[in-house]
Structures are given as structure tokens and as C-alpha cells.
Structure 1
Amino acid sequence: MAGLLSRIQNGKADAHSDAPAGAFNAISRANLLESLEKSDLGWFWASDANGHLTYISSPAAQRVGKPVEEIIARPITEFFQPVEDTGGSGHERPLKFQLASRGSIKPVTVKLEMGNGHSWWEIAAVPQTDAAGNFAGYHGIARDVSDTYEAKQHAEKLSRYDSLTGLSNRHRMSHQLGATLTAFRASKRSCAIMLIDLDRFKQVNDTMGHPAGDELLKQVAARLKRVLGDAVEIGRIGGDEFQVILPDEDDRGVLGELGMRVIQMISQPYTINGLRAVIGCSVGIAVAPFDGIQEDELVKAADLALYSAKGGGRGQFRFYSSELRDKASHRHQIESDLRDALNREELEMHYQPIVDAKNHQVVCVEALMRWNHSERGMISPADFIPVAEEVGMIRELGAWALHKVCETVQTWPGHVRAAVNVSAVQFDADDFVDVVKQALRSTGIDPSRLELEITESVFVGDMERAFRLFNALKELGVRLSLDDFGTGYSSLGYLRDAPFDKIKIDQSFVRGCTAEDNKNDAIIAAVVSLARALGMETVAEGVETKDEMRAVTEQGATHLQGMLFSRAIPGAEILQRLEAGEIEFTPRGPEKYRSDRRTEFRKIGLIHGNDRYNVFLRNLSKTGAKVEGLLDVPVGTDIVLDLGGGQLAVARVRRSEGFSQGVEFETPLISDGADGLCTRHRVSPYQIEAAGRPLRALNDEAVAAITGAIRSGTKSFIQVEIGKH
């Protein structure tokens, strides 16, 4: 064909010559092919057996921007570059695969680099053989499909990426996670995922409008890219929910730090159309294969962790654990029973004293709701308050609490005040001021004896409405207290303008303020100084030790609250003390703060050599623990504590007395995002699989099976029975 076209171009063939009919047909075919080439509807190419180009249509070469002679003799794969099937369709066999097979090249899209950019062609070819039947190269056709290819790519991108943020969408994230987990199972690798849910986004969306909400989501996406980098896959999988895939990461120390960086970055203020918006986020973390093997299993684990983070007060991260699965079942039961708790009169109010820092006499109490379930006893507010907020009962419970507290305080002698917590959901209600007014009117309480504790989250969104409500409440005569100051969205602007009577310094600043290298004392001093200048009282929350009490008092806090003075007690007990004139609360508690030490009592495993023992964990800190249950274990003995959930902590006995041992960890524990501690690493399900068990998410039975058995024969130590004491 190339020779014939050459002869036509050189005038050596004439359609009007006295050529035989066959030659005339060949000449007509050549003219037809030449016309096709010039029309740019399609071009021709040929290669030799070594994969080098031997012919290409002149119009095609012109498209590339190079003379024909610069293209001839170049490898096909240098000229026709393969294109990745980014759509995941898998319909086209890769060009290299087809060339290697030396069979027919089915239509395949290739990329051509040109002087001013690149284009996409579709090529196809049939193999040629020589007289001996050996492969001699290809004869092929080509056409420019740039317009249709780009349109297809754009459509595929729309189907795989979020049009608002440019992040991967739910479909692509699901495909990526499923493919990653499948590949990583084969190569025994781990993969973590994060679920990120924005806190208070709906308030911004409702008060500033949907266009502002869209702009906020774009800025959130940009921040996530900045803090997480390019090595991870980030997607928007819902309205204000994001997912992150982190390959080859199972160190919970690294994941926890990354989770906190995300929370801190997302919580910084945003500027949208000249207005200030502040949101937060909660993070749930799960790791394969530890928390799940399949995609749906892992996502469900991360979702439970996210729910726990939101239930813990938001602005937090949580790792998945099997306990969360059990708590989820417990939560469903709480939701069911909570709807009848008011009717069954199971809810009651307890009161924690707030004392004067100078004489420790009670001047106010914080009212805290308690649920005394008829069958299960006391249920923690940390369990049922988040459920009440989620199912929409918090306004009803809040109104009941407000009326109950006013009714109770009205019977108390003297002028002791009561502070009632107000949730952001309550504060957002249009009738909130009327609810307060009704409680005051129906109980006849002096309004100055009622304090409303309001968190900084009420300032998110409509600031003007917030200040209108503050002023309306002050006109009723009640006092206003800013709760948990410094943990959320502090702004000196609203602190200056809002009519607060009191600032409560969050316990996170009080806790450990006397520890070495702790700068919380400076923060406390600054807050106290600011409050004094604004004519406000200050309450240091969470005071648990005498050195903390002395520190916050020296910094100038006017009031103190915490377990050092009293837990929250029933109203009848407060009334009894007030009637008896016993208004001073003597501090009772430890002299000094002890870092991160938790009092516990639970059964764990202790491994020594090939033996496994059952012992009880008494105290736990980042650096060590106290265990009981083995008799006369020598100091210096190396052991491993099985803390549950695949958490093995290598330790050495540093103190030993009778059946009690103090052990020091080889590697310090880390925060689990809540109030607990956990190990950085866990036993890998791949190790359990190698021991002959099926591959599945971690469970304590499988871990115990590969870490030694409790033998009935001679063992190194004597195990003794321990009771809770």
C-alpha cells in the first residue's frame, strides 16, 4: 500500500492509462485511500517486526508537528503512548499487551505528545507475515478521538468525583477501598480509614444560606488536602461527611496525632463572604485487618468510632474497639427506654457545690441530670444525653430540668444559686426565653438564684440572635455563665459584648496545671485576669487535688468546683446541709496531681514464657500499671500484659509485694481519644492466620489462643484469687 501510494504521488500511475481492469481497480483504491488520508477522517501507519514505524500518513505527521522522516524508525510505544483506564471499565486491553501477543490490535486509545500539548488517537492494526510465514509487523489505521475521549473522561470524572469539592465521591471511595483491601489482604498489609463528620455545619448552612455552606465545604476540602497530603485518598461521601483512606498505616499513635491535626485544622475560623463562620469535626478511625476484613465491615467499625466521638462531646477522635459494638446495642436500648423515663419519674437532679475560693463555703450548685433506671440502676449522663440530643428529646428534658431546679431551689434557705446547663439545641429553640420565663413564674423563685450555663457553640451562626436572647434573659433577672471557656470557639469580641456574669475555666486547663512543664497555669492566669477586667466571676472546674486547688486560688479564681470538695449529691442532701447551716465543704482528696493514672478493676491476661495467667488490673498509666493475682513475682521479671482487643504491652516488674506488682511498660501507652489509654500496635490478624486460624477481625479468644495457655501443671508463679477491695 505504501509503495502504491508513493507511485501515485510521483505520477507513475494514471487512472486514464490503458491499464488492465485489475490495475485500474488498484489505482482507484489508492486514490480512495489517499483522499481518506487528506480528509483527516483517518490515517494509516505500518511497522516492522521489531516494532518500529515504517510508514505514517503525512497529515498524521502534520498533526504531531514533526516531519515524517523524524517519526519513521521510532518505536511504536514511543510514538503511541499507552493510556491508563482511569474509568475502571477494563474494556480495552493495554497496548503493550496487544503488541506482545503479535495478534490483531483491537481498537485502543493511545496518547500522543505534541509540541503544544497532547492528543488522543484510536488505533487498530492487523499483523503481517513474510513469505516464510514469520511475523513482519503491522499495517494499521488511526484517527483522532480527542474530543470524544475528553468528553468521556469528563463524564467519568463527574461520576467518580464530587463536583463541589473536587474530592472523590462515595462511589469512587467505595471502589478504591474495596480494591485496596483486596490487594492488601494478598500482600498482608494494613490500611486505615478515617470518617470525618462536621460539627455544627447545619447551623451555618441554615443561618448563612446554602451558597455559604457550599463555600465552607470547599474550604474544608482544601484544608483536608493540606493537612493530610497526597499519599492518601480523600473523599466527600455525604453532605458534610468525609472519608480518608490511609494505606499501610496501623500505628494508632500516628493515627491519633493525625486525627487531632484534622480536628484542629477544621476548627479554625472560616471567612465566607466577609462573615466569620466556626465549625468543628469529629473523627472515627478503624484499621484493617484488625477492625474489619471486608469494606463494609471496616466502614461500619469507623462509623461506630465516629458515633462515639460525637457522643463524647464532639471535637474528638475515637478508635474502633469491640466495646463500641456492645455500646451500640446498649444505645438502642437507652433510646427506647429514655422516651418513657420522664413518665416513669426515673429522672432526677443532683447538685455539685461551687464554693468560694477564700472560705470554701457553697455559693452556687451546678444542677446535673441523673437517670435512675428502674431495672438497670444509674445510667451515666454521658450515655443518655447524646442520645437525647440525637433523637430530639433534649428540649423536653431541658425544660423539665429547668422547672425542677427552680422548684427545688425555691425551698432552700439562704441565697444559694443553682446553675442549669443549656444545650445549643435548647438555645436555638424559638420559645427558649418563654420556657425560662414560665419556669420562673410557676415556681416563684427569685430570678437571681438561677444561672444558665451556656457553651461557646451557641455563637456559631446567627450572632445577632444570640445577643438578643442574652439581653432578653438578663431582663428576666437570671444570671449567665459561659461554660467550658477556652475549649471551643473563644472570641474576645463576643466575650466583651455578651452580658455574662461568670466564666467557667474548663477542667482540661485545671487538670495537671501543677505538673512540670505544664503551661495551663499561665492560661488560667490570663483567663482570670480577663474576667476580672470585665467584672466577671471565675470558676475553676474539675479541681481534684489540693495542689490544683492552691494553684488556681493563687492565680485568682474566685470559685472552685470539683471532686476535691464534693461529688454531685441529691437535692435532699443539699437541703439538709443548708438547713443545718453546714455550708462549708472541706477539701478531701490527694495532695498532688498524678499524671494520667486511672483506677481500674478488670481481669486481664499476663503472659510469662509459655504460660498465661489471669490477673486483675488495678491502676493504669501511660508508663505502667499495677496488677494483682500472682504471688511473689521477682523484681526484674519480664512479662506481657494482654489488655484486650489484641493489645499486648511488654513490661518489666519494678515493684513486687505479695500478690501485687507494679510494672513498667517498654513502650508508653497513648490516648485512645477518650479518657482511656491504648497500645500503639496490636496483634495482627495475619499472625493469627499464620497460626492456623481463619483470617478475621481481632477477638480476644483468638489472641489468647496464640499467646499461651493456662496450664494446670507446674508454672513459674502461683496464681491467687483476688476480690474487689
Structure 2
Amino acid sequence: MKHVSKGMILATMALTIAMTCLLAIIWEFLVKVPVFETLGLGQVARSLGERWEYVLTATGFASLALVVSLVLLLDLIRDLRRTYDDLSDAQQRAEALARHDALTGLPNRRVLSDQLDKVIQRVRRGETSCAVLVIDLDRFKPVNDVHGHVMGDRVLCILADRMRICARRSETLARLGGDEFAGIIEFDSDLSAPMRYAQRMIREIAKPIRIDDLEFELGATIGVAVCPTDAVDADTLLRSADLAMYKAKREEKGTIRFFEQSMDADLRTRVAVEADLRRAIANGEIQPHYQPLVSLRDQRLIGFEVLARWYHPEKGIISPAVFIPVAEDAGLISEMSYGVLQRACEEALRWPDDLTIAINISPNQLKDRRLTERIRTIMMVTGFPLDRLEIEITENALIGDHEMAKQALDSLRALGIRIALDDFGTGYSSLGHLREFGFDKVKIDRSFIESMTQSSDSAKIVSAIVNLCLSLGLSTTAEGIENPGVIDTLIDLGCDCGQGYLFGRPMPAHEIEARLNQHRQSLLFPDDATAPAFPAA
């Protein structure tokens, strides 16, 4: 209908009316009488005026019927055309949504895969080389947690616009989902091109984001896989870049990491460890071990730090350095920690009432709004006194939502549980943390204690930490004591407690109970039996 003009329609109507009038004349003046005679209907005598009246009436009614039908037909055609246009627009929007991210407007994984297939074909023909980059945002989760998903979406849109501008016309950029993006870059033989592309992205993402009265500083960790060096198909290339990104994320956020073949083997090992760990947690194979905590000044045993140990039925002892990071990444750390705490409380109930236990909680647990309730439930179920429990956290656990962390620690302290800041002096050490979170104890990192006798700087740092804690009314514990020569120095400085292999390695409950039953003093003998034994309370 787009090609039919109004003039053509009017001309057609006029011609139709004229033909109708002509047919009425032919019928009335030429055909009617012979037809009536043939059919034996007799003759119909009409005057000339009556005959023309009939012609005009017939023509008028026929024209009216034609006009009404035509109007209805045109209206129907308009509705059909409107429906067709709506369907076409909807189909185009659906196709656009199917190929683009609804929030940022960037191409999605489907477009990325299609484009990557085309680029790989050119690589196979020797026309080019290419690299895939997987870009994962750092410190984005706190934006959602603290300010809500609406603010998180605004931040994502701003970052997507920055990355879109940063990417050149020949470089594909897509959003994979959440806070993860991917890019494709083609290059000739210059392997530094993917690195420059990644560096541009990191610089753009790292620029402060200001929305209303808020300012956010995010970062990005990027994994890179090169075609044809690392893979020659789209799925493997994306997976390789993803592996490189996660490797960089675990080792140092905010960095760029190229894929290495060993990463694939590492992933398979990690997957196997995770599967075994899930089974081990369900079967209660993760056991608490206990390392003595000693009062340095009067040389009393005052308690133990609870440490998780895994005895695999086939592989033997699995190092905590292996399974703790897997538990954290797989979201198993809370379930594992609560299980170890409950078992530790049950075992420690059999020991003298003046011995405490201390257990470290992870950053993920500190974000759990049910943390206090879960710990209180464990205390109620086991009957372990709340004032014999100490919770340790590292400063890294305080990065992010300070208010949530403060509320969690305040609620634990309200139950009568003491709070200790672990590994102080490393990571994100801040005097503001000591003031804001109101800790009961500070544990000085073992790296300073171990080097006290060789490094005057370490000794000065330990002295400064102890003096600071004394002025704030906080007790101190020196970690990693293995050299008897540092004990007198720590006592002179005013350090309260000590922990380390000098006093005993982490032991299972049955060994502790055997030593307690034998003689509480012997509990403090290390394995070599050459260091002095400290009498217990």
C-alpha cells in the first residue's frame, strides 16, 4: 500500500462508479425488456424519467456500498500495516536484546563468540593474530552491598562507556555478565599489543567515579589468551583467558596475567581438591588442632588458637595453604569454620575452665548477617562459656563495608566474646581500625617477631606496636616465637602473650588431653625438649 497514491484510489473509485452507471443504463434500456420477455415475466412499462431514476438509484447504492467497503478495507489494511510494523519493530528489538546487554548496551557473549569465530578463521588463514581478554572488576561487590543494585548498575554503565570509548573500532568489547567483560583484539606480530590494550582498560577503569555525592574507586584484573598460541577455537580461548584472570585474581588483584599451560593443570587440581573438600566437610574430616597461647610475664598456659587440619583418607595430611583458599573461593569457608568451632567447643569443655580458645573468622563470615546468631547457637548447643571464646580477624576482613563489620564485631562483643586483630603490621594496617573497632587484643605478625634478633627495624616496629597497644589499653600477643632469645625482650617491652613452635606445635585434642592428664607443665615442652618448659596455671 505504500506505493498506491490517493489519486490512484480516487481514479479507481470514479472508474468503478462510471462502470456501475453504464451497466445500469445497459440493463435498463437494452437488456431488461428482452430478459423479462424471455422469462415470461411480462412487460414493465416505465416512463423515461422512471428509467433514469432507476439508473441513478442503482448507481448511488452501488457507489455507497463500494465506498463503505473500500473504507473498511483501507482501515483493515492500515491495522494490518500497523501490526506488521509493530511486529517488525518488536522483532528488531528482540534481536538487539538477544545480541546486546540490556543494561550497558554492549554486545553480549553470543556476539562475542560469533565475532571471535570470524576472527579465528582469519587467524587460521594466516591473515592476523588475535587475543581474548577477560576483564573482572575489583571492589565492585561492596558498591552493590552498601549502596544497592541501582547504584551498582549506574557504576557499571559508566565503566562500560569508558571501556567502549577506550576500545578502538576494530576491537570488540562485550559484557559477559555481572562485573565481567571481555574484549577481542587483532594484531600482526606485535605481542605487546594485547598488553597495551589491557593497560588502557585498567587505567580507564581505575579513574574515580563520582555519582551524586559519592565517589568510587574500582580496579580490574585481566586475563589474556592468545590465538593461535594458546588455542584455536573460541570456547577454549575464552576459557584460557578466564583461567589467567582467576590466577591473577588469586595472586594479586589489579594485574594482567597471560595464560600458561600449567594453569589448566592447576585448575583440574583445584577442582579435585574442592570436590574432596566438600566431602570432607560433610564427613567431619576437617579437625581442630590447638596451638598453645602463653602468658609471657608469669609463664602460664592461658589457652589455645584453633587451627583447621585435614586428614585425607587416601592422600594423608592436606596443607591448610592448599585447602583454605579453595574453601574461600568455593564458598565453603563458613560451613567449615562453624564445624571446626563446634567441635573445638565440645573438646575444650573437657579442659580446665581457665583455658580459652581463639578462632579466626574469614572476611566472608564477617559479611554474614547471621554470624553472631550462628556463633551464639554453637555456644548454646555445646554449653561452652562465651567468655572463654576469642574471635580473631585479619585487617583484610575489614576492607569493604566498615559499618557491617563494626556491627558484627559489636554484637559479638556484647555477648562477652573477646575480639583480636590478627597479623597486625601487615596488609592494610591502620591505626583507625584500632580506634574504630575497639579490639581487645592485637596479635603482632610473626614476620616481625622472627626477625627481631637480626633486624633493628623489626625490633623497633614491635616496640612501637606494643607501646601503642599499652596506651590504648589493648593486650598483645607475639606470634611465631621460635627463638628463646626474644622472650626477655618481649617481656621488657610489655608484650603480654606469646605463641609459636617454642611453646608447642598445633596438636589434636587427644594429645593435649594426654599431656594435661600427665602434667599440665609438660604441655609446653616443644618437640626438641631443649627449650624451657613454662609452668601452666
- Residue 30 of structure 2 aligns with which residue? none
Q: How many Å apart are 1:182 and its aligned residue?
A: 5.9
Instruction: Give the alignment of 1:50-449 within 5 angstroms.
Output: 170=109, 174=113, 193-198=132-137, 201-217=140-156, 236-243=175-182, 273-274=212-213, 283-308=222-247, 320-355=259-294, 363-389=302-328, 392-413=331-352, 415-449=354-388
Q: Secondary structure at the match of 2:177?
A: coil
**Counterpart code for 1:209:** G
Q: TM-score, normalised to structure 2's length?
A: 0.60
Residues 198-238 of structure 1: CA deviation (Å, up to 9, x unaligned): 45634431331112212443566689899999999765432
d(CA) in 1 for partners of 2:295, 2:116: 56
**Counterpart code for 1:581:** Q
CA shift in 2, pair 1:555/1:167, >3 Å: farther
d(CA) in 1 for partners of 2:190, 2:131: 6
Q: Which piece of structure 1 moves more, 449-458 or 561-570? A: 561-570
More strand by share: 1
d(CA) in 2 for partners of 1:182, 1:462: 47
Q: Which piece of structure 1 moves more, 449-458 or 539-548? A: 539-548
Q: Secondary structure at the match of 1:371?
A: strand
Tell me which of 519, 522, 529 is aligned to 1:582: 522
d(CA) in 2 for partners of 1:551, 1:200: 41
- Residue 22 of structure 1 aligns with which residue? none
Q: CA contact under 8 A between 2:392 and 2:420: conserved in structure 1?
A: yes
Indicate the structure (1 or 2) with the bigger Cα radius of gyration: 2
Q: CA contact under 8 A between 2:109 and 2:174: conserved in structure 1?
A: yes
**Counterpart code for 2:345:** C
Establish whether residue 570 from structure 1 lines up as the match of residue 512 from structure 2.
no
Q: Secondary structure at the match of 1:348?
A: strand
Gapped regions of structure 2 (runs ≥ 5): 1-93, 529-537
Aligned length: 430
Residues 414-457 of structure 1: CA deviation (Å, up to 9, x unaligned): 63432212233333334322222222233333423211123445
Q: TM-score, normalised to structure 1's length?
A: 0.47
Q: How many Å apart are 1:185 and its aligned residue?
A: 6.7
Gapped regions of structure 1 (runs ≥ 5): 1-154, 589-725
d(CA) in 1 for partners of 2:332, 2:134: 26
Q: CA contact under 8 A between 2:175 and 2:181: conserved in structure 1?
A: yes
CA shift in 2, pair 1:577/1:300, >3 Å: same
Q: Secondary structure at the match of 1:434?
A: helix
**Counterpart code for 1:432:** L
- Residue 451 of structure 1 aligns with which residue? 390
Q: How many Å apart are 1:346 and its aligned residue?
A: 1.9
RMSD in angstroms over aligned alpha carbons?
A: 5.4
**Counterpart code for 1:536:** L
d(CA) in 2 for partners of 1:443, 1:317: 48
d(CA) in 2 for partners of 1:480, 1:492: 16
CA shift in 2, pair 1:372/1:556, >3 Å: same
Q: How many Å apart are 1:307 and its aligned residue?
A: 3.8
Q: Which has the higher contact order (CA 8 A, sep 6+)?
A: 2
CA shift in 2, pair 1:544/1:290, >3 Å: farther
- Residue 536 of structure 1 aligns with which residue? 474
Q: CA contact under 8 A between 1:224 and 1:262: conserved in structure 2?
A: no
CA shift in 2, pair 1:529/1:164, >3 Å: farther
CA shift in 2, pair 1:214/1:503, >3 Å: farther
Instruction: Give the alignment of 1:535-554 within 5 angstroms.
Output: 535-539=473-477
Sequence identity percentage:
39
Q: How many Å apart are 1:555 and its aligned residue?
A: 8.6
d(CA) in 1 for partners of 2:127, 2:502: 51
Q: How many Å apart are 1:390 and its aligned residue?
A: 5.3
d(CA) in 2 for partners of 1:180, 1:542: 55
d(CA) in 1 for partners of 2:295, 2:475: 10
Q: CA contact under 8 A between 1:278 and 1:460: conserved in structure 2?
A: no
More helix by share: 2
d(CA) in 1 for partners of 2:168, 2:494: 44
CA shift in 2, pair 1:473/1:329, >3 Å: same
